[in-house]
Amino acid sequence: MTDIATTARNLLDAGLGRLASADDLESFEVIQRDVLGKKSALAALNTHLRDLTPEQRREAGEAIKATRDTLTEESARIRALLVERHRREQLAAERMDLSELAAAPAGPPLAWSGRGAGHSHLVTSTRDELEDTFVAMGFTVAEGPEAETDWYNFEALNMPPDHPARGMWDTLYLRLGQPGQVLLRTHTSPVQVHLMESGMLPIYAVMPGRCYRRDTPDARHLPVFHQIEGLVVDRGITFGDLAGVIEAFTGAFFGPGMHSRLRPSFFPFTEPSAEFEVTCPICAGGGCRTCSNSGWIELGGCGMVDPNVFRAVGIDPEEYSGFAFGFGIDRLAQVRASLSDMRALLDNDVRFLSQF
């Protein structure tokens, strides 16, 4: 074997070792240039070929080519791994933690009890994921009170006293102030009113929180449950924007291949109103028991903000338009985790909770 062929073999081993030692993209680029670049020892070998006999030249040329091919392949593989690792690290670093705990000053560590560390409840982690998804889409997160007045829960939402649509919500009233005036909010829609009243336009916000209804718990209803509300108010907002946001959210939250559709409905605070459905996450649209073989699951309500709502909060409906949506977080968690009975979310059975 010629000296050149031997050197090429040695350069192959050394090059493979050096490429494998790169621990980030920056050091990889430097190593790759050293190993395969124009000024590399491998490139320098070519200049010695002309001193050889034709027979030797062929053998040495083949050895150089084999080394170069293997090193090129290996460097492409390692580069792809490092790019993927970099992407994952960047996502982890940019992930926003909106919990209050994260903002709390670091105190002394809690005494280690020797048991499992525990984790968020399924409903809490679903809410966190929803917030992250909407924040990534450019929304802010807002909250409002759980005890509301009749005005915020109903009247400002285009339901004057005795309006029949109030019957859509079985309301729990508090013995506070004027009789029938203070209640536990039946939905998160009153937070829309607080936001719009503040007068800070435009609004692109989601509002998660706890809601209450005079309901007997069953497989699909809880008297205390969670909703997330969405509200966009700006100049020139159209129904197309609403449909686009719902579709973008569906893809971002449920993953590729999942879609949304809107069907006509009625809510007093939106006109026109719609129910929005998403591809059934259990059967991916193929049809199953959960979606009654339709391939679609109803998630919540939405529509264009009714001009009467704008007037109630002092926004000019000739200048501004907007859309709103709202859906149940517990219900979403139930569907995604294929729970036949929602009451499991309240039982606090560790054998159930630790599965999520």
Q: Can residue 324 be called a binding residue for ligand DAH (CB under 6 A)?
A: yes
CB of 152 to ligand DAH, least distance (A): 12
Which residues does 100 contact at the CB level (< 8 Å), separation at least 6? none
Measured in degrees and rounded to the nearest 5, phi and psi for residue 345 equal -70, -20
Q: Can residue 300 be called a binding residue for ligand DAH (CB under 6 A)?
A: yes
Of residues 229 and 277, the one with the C-beta less far from ligand DAH: 229
Residue list 263-282, contact with ligand DAH (CB under 6 A): 267, 270
Residues in contact with ligand DAH, shown as a per-residue x/- string from 162 to 201 under the rule CB under 6 A: -------------------------x-x------------
Q: Which tokens hold the place of 302?
A: 């939405």
Residues in contact with ligand DAH, shown as a per-residue x/- string from 221 to 260 under the rule CB under 6 A: --------x-------------------------------
Q: 239-278 burial, b for 16+ CB within 10 Å, e for fewer?
A: eebbbebbbebbbebbeeebebebeeeebbbbeebbbbbb
CB of 168 to ligand DAH, least distance (A): 7
Question: What is the residue-wise DSSP string for 136-185?
Answer: HTT-EE----SEEEHHHHTGGGT--TT-GGGGGS-PPBPSSSSTTTEEE-
Stretch that binds ligand DAH, among 34-42, 252-260, 301-309, 331-339 (CB under 6 A): 301-309
Q: Can residue 303 be called a binding residue for ligand DAH (CB under 6 A)?
A: yes
Stretch that binds ligand DAH, among 15-23, 42-50, 299-307, 334-342 (CB under 6 A): 299-307
Q: Which tokens hold the place of 344?
A: 């499991």
- Distance in angstroms (rounded) separating the CA atoms of residues 187 and 208: 10
CB of 329 to ligand DAH, least distance (A): 12
Which residues does 339 contact at the CB level (< 8 Å), separation at least 6? 333, 345
3-state class (DSSP) for residue 320: coil
- Distance in angstroms (rounded) separating the CA atoms of residues 289 and 298: 14
Stretch that binds ligand DAH, among 16-24, 50-58, 177-185, 297-305 (CB under 6 A): 297-305
Residues interacting with ligand DAH, by CB under 6 A? 187, 189, 229, 267, 270, 300-303, 324-326
